[in-house]
A and B are shown apart, each in its own frame.
Chain A
Amino acid sequence: MTVLTFTIILLLGAYCAGLLGSLTGLGGGVVIIPLLTLALGVDFQYAIGGALVASIATSSGSGSAYVKEGITNIRLGMFLEIATSIGAVVGALVAIYLNNNIIAVIFGIVLIMTVVNQLRHKTDHENVKGSETARRLKLYGSYPLKDGTWRHYELTNVGGGFGVMVVAGALSGILGIGSGVLKVLAMDTIMKVPFKVSTTTSNFMIGVTAATSAVVYLQRGNIEPGIAFPVMVGVLAGALTGARLLKTLNVSTLRKIFCLAIALVALNMIYNGINGNF
C-alpha cells in the first residue's frame, strides 16, 4: 500500500469515527482503535497514539460549545481531574508491562460497558441532598434548562466518585480513549450529578486526561506522524459535521445500530486478544 492510499483510507475512516463519535457521544477514540488494528493491521501501540490524538481533538472541539452554554461544572471537572491525571500517570506506567493482547481484552470490556451505558435508561437526579464534603469543596452548581431558567443541583459521595475517576484515568492511560463511560458512571451514578452536567463535564475532562498520557506516549513513539495527521484532520472534520447534524437529526436509531456494531467489535477484540492474535 502506498502512503497516499493509506492516508486516504485513514482520513475517510477517521471522518466516520469523528462523525459517529459526536453523534452518539462516544468520542472518536472508540472507533479509531478497531479501525487501525482490526481493519488496517496497525500495531496496537500506534493505535493507542492515534486514539489519544482523536480523543483530545473531539473533547476540545465539542467541549468549546458546551462550556459556552454553561452546562459544564468547571470546579467539579477540575477537582476530579486530580484523580484522572493521577490515574493517567499510573496507566501510562502500567502500559509498559502489558502486551497488546491484554490491552485488546481490556479495550473490549470497556467497549461493552460503554454500550450498556448507552442503552440504559437515564434519569436526571432531582432534589439530591448534597454531602458536607461536596459543599465544602463548592461542587454544587446550576445548569440552564431549555426555558432559560437555571436549576440548582447538589451532589454526594465525593470519595466514591474520586476513586472511580482514578480507574477511569488509568484506563485512558492504557487505552488512549477518553473512557467517558467510567467518568459518567462516577458522576451520574455515584455522585448523583444531573446527566447532562455529567456528560459535558466528562467530555471536558477527557482532553486533559488524554493530554496527560499523550505527553508520555509522544516520547515513547506511539504517536506516529503518518497516522496522527489523517486521524486529527479526519476526526475533527467528522466531529464538526456531527455537531451540525445533531441539531436536526434524531439519532436514537443510529445510536442503537452503532451500539450493536460496537458490541460486535468488542467481542471481536476480546476473542482475538484471548487467542493472542495481536
Chain B
Amino acid sequence: MTKQNRENKEERDIQKIIGNTLRWGVTVACAIALVGGAVYLMQHGNEPIKDYAIFDKTHPEYTRLRGIFGGFFNFEAYGIIQVGVIALLLTPIVRVALSFVDFVDKHDWLYAAITSVVLAIIFVNSISSPT
C-alpha cells in the first residue's frame, strides 16, 4: 500500500465515524421529536393554534434549559420536542468535537487548534449572545 493510499484509507475511517455520528444524531433527534409531537397532538390537537403571526417576546419555558428539561421529565410535549431540537443542534457540534479528537490522534496540531477555535466560538456564543 502506498503512503497516499494509506492516508486515504485512514481519512476514510474517521469519515465513516463522522458520517455515522451525523446519521445517528439526526435519527435520535427525530425519534424524540416524534414522541413529543405525538404527546402534543394528543393533549392539544383539538385546540386552536397559538397566534404565530405575532412573535412572543416573553421568553416562554421552552427557551430555557431548565424549563425544557423540567418539561421533558414531566412528560410535557414542549419539553420533549425541545430536547429533540437540542439533540439535533448537538449533532454537528459533536461532529466538530470528534474531528478534534481525530486531529489530536494524528498529531495534526494545526488542525487540532483550528477545530478548537471553532468549538470555542460556538461555546462562547451559546452562553453570551444577547437573548
Contact = CB atoms under 8 A, between A and B. Distances in A.
Interface of A: 1-4, 6-7, 40-46, 53, 56-57, 59-61, 63-65, 67-68, 70, 72, 74-75, 78-79, 81-82, 85-86, 88-89, 92-93, 96, 137-138, 142, 150, 207-208, 210-212, 214-216, 218-230, 232-233, 236
B57 A232 contact: no
Nearest to A44: B55
A236 B26 contact: yes
Contact of A74 (B33, B88, B99): B99
B49 interface: yes
Contacts of A57: 26, 29-30, 88
Given A68-B15, A207-B91, A236-B26, A4 B125 contact: no
A233 B125 contact: no
Interface residues of B, number: 71
A212 B125 contact: yes
Given A3-B41, A61-B23, A67-B15, A219 B131 contact: yes
A232 B33 contact: yes
Contacts of A214: 85, 89
Contacts, number: 219
Interface of B: 4, 8, 11-12, 14-16, 18-20, 22-23, 25-26, 29-30, 33-34, 36-37, 40-41, 44-50, 52-60, 62-64, 77-78, 81-82, 84-86, 88-93, 95-96, 99, 108, 110-111, 114-115, 117-118, 121-122, 125-126, 129-131
B26 A60 contact: yes
Contact of A3 (B33, B48, B110, B118): B48
B22 to A, nearest CB: 4
- Interface of A: prevailing SS: helix
A4 B62 contact: no
Contact of A221 (B57, B93, B129): B57
B125 A216 contact: yes
